[in-house]
Amino acid sequence: MSRAGTIEIFEVGPRDGLQNEAKVLPVETRIALIRDLAAAGLRTVEAGSFVSPRNLPQMAQTADVLAGLSSFGGSISRSTHSAEAGSKVDLEIDPPIHLPVLVPNARGFADALAAKAKYIAVFAAASESFSRRNINRSIEESLDEYRPIVAEARAKGLKVRGYVSCVLGCPYEGQVAVSAVVSVATALAAMGCEEISLGDTIGVGTPDAARAMTAAVASEIGIQRTAVHFHDTYGQALANVLACLDLGVTVVDSSVAGLGGCPYAPGASGNLATEDLVYLLDGLGVETGVDLDKVAAAGRAVCAALGSAPRSRTGQALAAKVK
Ligand code: HMG
Ligand code: MG
């Protein structure tokens, strides 16, 4: 299989990124970030989670974030939350952007429906210990809980994604068998998840392992339904993406400014940075529709709000140029 000419970047910064930041951002700043990312050309931006606010206060008020973005799908007003990003022009967004939200259980699904979410993601793991710590369920219990949720969501016309965590290693169990990843991914696909995102939650994978694991899943569910989600703990995320692009993967997850980690995975640092991914894909001549300078500006703005420095190497290089 050869590399696709166009890749969809699935932006997870407002969810996977912000959920792991010590500072809890106000709703308006979360909305401004999503608007900036949309204005940069990202067409799928994970907007938050309907999980316990006691566990993850960073994701509380996701309903308010969606409400604040309800004009999406038509014309949006460009963010003015930073002098650099704020141009006060109206931008026509066509096609409309997708705003997926994470749902861990029936309560989260009901809340997502009440908030008029049109795209949900359920999240399971290939490791029992991680599943317990993350969602207080065994793998089997989580799949049993998701089955009716996914069925109802699809029946209502929602889009549904399924995540598998710990696909290349677990913070509690170490090695994870490829067969365990394939088993959870195929179960999620069989219950109706349209796309399965394979998460290297703690960023321990290297390219040959990433390619072999992704190929094993894709041979069961198809490469078009297989997305990759790398954290960059050991600096391998871009190399892993490249290895998987050669399989024909067409959806790659990343997080603006390299924000993120996982609150249930000690030592896991940020996600693959969107700026670094766009720079790589631009260099390879792969179409993404994303404007590198604009996404880097969005990264600088959210980092200013968080009081942290962008972790993206490309973001840092571009920031030096605009000084
Ligand atoms: P639990 O304690 O088993 O739930 O938590 P419970 O049903 O026993 O309820 C306990 C309390 O939580 C109750 O409140 C419920 O109402 C409340 P109380 O009566 O004690 O006041 N509750 C909720 N509140 C709001 N929204 C809900 C909800 N459900 C119950 N949906 C639960 C189970 C899943 C809720 C909890 O463990 C949780 O919130 N975990 C957070 C999981 C999470 O968000 N993890 C990070 C995302 S996964 C990830 O980052 C990996 C990924 O990026 C891919 C990769 O990198 O690998 C996707
Ligand atoms: Mg993640």
Give the pLDDT confidence of 179-205 residue by residue, as tens digits: 999 999 999 999 999 999 999 999 999
Closest CA to 245 of 3, 1, 43, 79: 3
Burial 37-49 (b: 16+ CB within 10 A, else e): bbbbbbbbbbbbb
Element (H, E) at 283: helix 274-284
Quote the mean pLDDT of the chain. 91
> Token pair of 86, please?
């704020």
Closest CA to 299 of 272, 265, 281: 272
pLDDT of residue 77: 38
Establish whether residue 262 lines the binding site of ligand 1, counting it when its CB lies within 6 angstroms of any ligand atom.
Answer: yes
**Nearest CA residue ID for atom 40, ligand 1:** 135
In the predicted model, is pLDDT for residue 113 greater than 70? yes
Residue spans per domain, the chain: 8-322
Give the pLDDT confidence of 200-244 residue by residue, as tens digits: 999 999 999 999 999 999 999 999 999 999 999 999 999 999 999
User: Distance from the CA of 229 to the center of ligand 2, in angstroms?
Assistant: 7
Q: What phi and psi values does residue 172 have, to the nearest 5 degrees? A: -105, -30
What dihedral do alpha carbons 54, 56, 57, 61 form, nearest 10°? -100
Q: Whole-model pTM above 0.85?
A: yes
**Nearest CA residue ID for atom 32, ligand 1:** 135
Note whether 291 and 41 are within 8 A (CB).
yes
Establish whether residue 127 lines the binding site of ligand 1, counting it when its CB lies within 6 angstroms of any ligand atom.
Answer: no
pLDDT of residue 88: 32
Establish whether residue 199 lines the binding site of ligand 1, counting it when its CB lies within 6 angstroms of any ligand atom.
Answer: yes
Q: Is domain 8-322 given the CATH code 3.20.20.70 in the classification? A: yes
